[in-house]
Structure 1
């Protein structure tokens, strides 16, 4: 019994600072590289929850295969949602996030390596500036996740 109480105390002692810190966070940085539509969609879902439910900033940096989400005319697979809700694509969700105020940037290596230029970008997407991305990633006021 003492061991159970001690373990419970440790869990609570570790959880309380994390919960208190979440309230003080400014937002969420998402680095998205996966080519998988379901993985991309989960990142979009968490970004949406962060932006709309928690009123926190969201910054998404698209790199590698996920960079295709930023390009006009590139296809993005539909992903079925639980409960029979209408299927949506990560690209559709990304456009909604941009309209809701998310900051979306494309890795500066993507376009030259895809043989494209900035004219192919969806409205609201910029080219990432590595010093600014790095500054936000090391800022303790933001949580970072990668998909």
Structure 2
């Protein structure tokens, strides 16, 4: 994995990414990709914990979240609530095809993208870099 990710190249300059997913293996995988790219990762297992981080003063340059989350709100609702405090928050939704309907395809705000599972790590890495680099 590291060899192929190296082709995407490190990019981090102190940026912090919040990963919200109820699957520990997914959080671990995304964290590994982020660290390989030079970003700092913060993990949350549900929408309540994720929103708590988004409403704090912690620097967050990108939110990577599953759409289907426990905790009372889905990933889209959590992202929208987080954007009330952080209007420029960039978001990458990771979703299974069926969950795509929750996002209301075509109704994503600027700075939001969707990555459908399963995905290759290089695609994840380049999407993360592109979103963080977007101004």
TM-score, normalised to structure 2's length?
A: 0.44
Q: Which of 1 and 2 has higher RCO (CA within 8 Å, sep 6+)? A: 1
More helix by share: 1
TM-score, normalised to structure 1's length?
A: 0.41
Q: Which has the larger radius of gyration?
A: 1
